[in-house]
Amino acid sequence: MNGSGKAVVVGGGIGGLATAIALIRRGWQVEVLERAAEFGEAGSGISLWANGIRAMDALGLGDAVRAAGLVETEGGIRDRAGRWLSKTDTGELARRYGPLVAIRRTDLFAILSGALPGEVLRPGVTVTGIENAGDGVAVTHTSGVSEADVVVGADGIHSVVRAALWPDAQGPRYAGYTAWRMITGPLGFSVSGSETWGRGERFGVVPLRDGCAYLFGVADAPEGDRHPDGEFAEVRRRFANWPAPIPEALAQVDPATVLHHDLYDLPPLDTYVRGRVALLGDAAHAMTPNLGQGANQALEDAVTLAAVLTEHPVGEALDAYDRLRRPRTTAMVRRSRMIGAVAQLSWLPATVLRDTVIRLSPRSAMLRSLDSVLTWEPPA
């Protein structure tokens, strides 16, 4: 069978919702099973690069994202004293590839879920088991069993689908550093996008459309390290004396809204497909956020999967999906980890050398290095 059929998507994150939209636009009947009581994302920000925006365009939602987000017009890396080490040529970036857009996750979610008919979304349903059975798949969950021609495991880094059908796959590996994310209230002053790199610590500022900013702090830390005085107190202890505008921006954060997560990625899988089940997004290739590509790759996955499922019988389509997506995303996981290793250097001579190399690198080299990431086009 090709053209259309019934698909069950496990997980209603960015990857799962985008997949549902892409499949429905191509005539599929879709059910999205999400264990959370409501579809949504915790409040922080996200950067969508030209490749992710192209995927959103393919879903018919690019304009909505451009309208809700802010095109980044200035960005780069600073040293611990606040001096620019490199500035991204955002004009040339936009001309060559398309803009880099910063958006609140809540807004991105509203755009994605708003594009789906309500009956497609089944919140409060936790998937517990999955079985390939001939030409179909049976998904067991807390509300019964759903049957489908294809199942998409978009259930995140701790995927139940992956655990069931890839029992020998290695689990997530801790990157060695942890991240705090937060959104400020209105700042009352303008900020450039920046990442300030220290020793084993860095801090990012990403302006948003409404005069607020998305902030993130990253620090080397033992896995599971938590702070009895509260995570915002830890953020302030580490970063409140960093160069402007970091202290000023932190002064506008509501401590109750700070998110704290240890960062992991997934060792490469030997296939993203088992029978009629495909893994997608973080379930297939969770990556550290250093390249800002996790969600962008999930969007590429979604558009690609729907395109091949429309063109080919299911078996061939899933083989094509694996062929098109696995090499690219595996390389992205590796590259993100390498960038993290450099950004998190903590030995003083190594950070001095790193900062010097970045300062001396031409701006065009940085853009060239992104070429393979940003030139992605949706399958015809």
Provide the minimum distance between the beta carbon of 247 and ligand FAD in the complex, in angstroms, as a whole number.
21
Does 120 bind ligand FAD (CB under 6 A)? Our answer is no
Contact between 100 and ligand FAD by CB under 6 A: the answer reads no
Q: Which stretch binds ligand FAD (CB under 6 A): 4-12, 76-84, 226-234, 310-318?
A: 4-12
Per CB under 6 A, does 73 bind ligand FAD?
A: no
Distances (CA, A) of 278 to 39, 269, 328: 22, 12, 16
Q: Does residue 233 sit in helix, strand or coil?
A: helix
CB atoms within 10 A of CB 128: 11
Q: How far is the C-alpha of 40 from the C-alpha of 306, rounded, in Å?
A: 23
Report if residue 329 touches ligand FAD, rule: CB under 6 A: no
If you write DSSP's letter for every residue of 242-254 in order, what string do you get? SSTTHHHHHTTB-
Find the binder of ligand FAD among 9, 21, 46, 343 (CB under 6 A). Answer: 46
What do you get for the CA distance between the two ends of the chain, in Å?
20
CA distance 91 to 31: 41
Instruction: Please report whether residue 205 would count as binding ligand FAD according to CB under 6 A.
Output: no
Tokens of 255: 């401590």
| Residue with Cβ nearer ligand FAD (234 or 282) | 282
Q: Is 36 in the site for ligand FAD (CB under 6 A)?
A: yes
Q: How far apart are CA 193 and CA 77, in angstroms?
A: 9
Segment 234 to 273, residues that bind ligand FAD, using CB under 6 A: 261, 263
Q: How far is the CB of 2 from ligand FAD (least distance, A)?
A: 25
Should residue 226 be labelled a site residue for ligand FAD when binding is judged by CB under 6 A? Answer: no
Instruction: List the one residue from 5, 7, 8, 11 that touches ligand FAD (CB under 6 A).
Output: 11
Q: Are strands 150-153 and 6-10 parallel, antiparallel or unpaired?
A: parallel
Q: Which residues contact 239 (CB under 8 A, 6 or more apart)?
A: 201, 203, 217, 246, 247, 250
| Beta carbon nearer to ligand FAD, 158 or 323 | 158
134-173: which residues touch ligand FAD (CB under 6 A)? 154-156, 160
Dihedral pair phi/psi, residue 72, rounded to 5°: -75, 125
Q: Which of 20, 28, 47, 250 binds ligand FAD (CB under 6 A)?
A: 47
Binding site for ligand FAD (CB under 6 A): 10-16, 33-36, 46-47, 126-127, 154-156, 160, 179, 181, 261, 263, 281-282, 289, 292-296, 298
